[in-house]
Amino acid sequence: MTNLQLTALNSRFYAPCTAHGEKIRNLHAMIDTGSNVTAVRSDICQDLSLLHAGTLPMGCVHGAHADMLVQRYFCTITLGKKDRRIIVYELGKLVEGGNAIDAILGLNMLEGCRMTLDWERMEGTLEV
């Protein structure tokens, strides 16, 4: 098992990871345990030449977006020493506190990990 130190910004936690396609890219990824899927910014998916896994109509949990067609790609993500080949969903550009978010890690990437979050100190570790 490897312990990754998480960073915190605006009450959200982030983990360093890498995405593998025709190239390898380091990612600044937000952790979202409320999501079942992992999403990667669309420009990164294109830059890595990820293999297309189809289009899926989706809606968001609060109903503001319904029946949006989302592109999906096959991608290997490395988190610590853990490699997982998963389907990632295309993500638009997100900026948090002036920093671009490259990816959102959902449960399909985080399952089997142990996370410790100290909300008072805004410190966290992810055991993978």
Q: Which residues contact 16 (CB under 8 A, 6 or more apart)?
A: 4, 26, 27, 28, 29
Predicted pLDDT of residue 126: 95
Q: Using one digit for the tens of pLDDT, what is the confidence trace for 33-73? A: 999 999 999 999 999 999 999 998 876 655 556 677 889 99
- What percent of the chain lies above the pLDDT cut of 70? 93
Q: Give residue for tokens 């290997």.
A: 76
pLDDT value for 71: 94
Q: Which residues contact residue 88 at a Cβ distance below 8 angstroms, ignoring those fewer than 6 apart?
A: 19, 37, 38, 39, 40, 45, 50, 72, 73, 74, 75, 77, 103
Q: What global pTM score does this model have? A: 0.89
Q: What is the mean pLDDT of residues 86-90?
A: 96
The predicted pLDDT at position 64 comes to 59
Place of tokens 């609060």: 62
The whole-number average pLDDT for the span 106-123 is 94
Q: Which contiguous run of DSSP H or E holds residue 107?
A: helix 107-110
